[in-house]
Amino acid sequence: MVFSDEEMKKGHERAKSRREERQANGLSAYRNPIEKAQENPTSLRAAINGKCYDCIGQDGDPDWRGSIRECVCTDCTLYPVRPYQ
Ligand code: SF4
């Protein structure tokens, strides 16, 4: 999927707006992959990212991105589409 410059700009503006809203409400600007998936429940990408983040132990693994990248469970159905490859 290729996004146009206009679509990318709108996406960045939405993300900036959500980040500013969270900060205004005293929340961290950081959202983990599960929180992102919960905010966008129809996104398969967000769902996959959230599942891999959960599988690897969430923030209990300080290098969870690296652990997902180096996942060795090649028989997992999400393996070919896992994030951070
Ligand atoms: S690809 Fe790896 S990290 Fe992602 S759900 Fe499967 S086993 Fe877990």
Number of domains forming the structure of the chain: 1
CA of 13 to the centre of ligand 1 (A): 31
**Per-residue tens of pLDDT for the chain, all 85 residues:** 678 889 888 888 888 888 888 889 888 888 899 999 999 999 999 999 999 999 999 999 999 999 999 999 999 999 999 999 9
Instruction: Kindly give the number of the ligand 1 atom that is closest to the alpha carbon of 55.
Output: 8
pTM here is 0.76
CA of 52 to the centre of ligand 1 (A): 5
Q: Is 49 exposed, middle or buried (0-12, 13-18, 19+ CB in 10 A)?
A: buried
- What local confidence, expressed as pLDDT, does residue 75 receive? 97
Q: Which domain holds residue 26?
A: 5-81
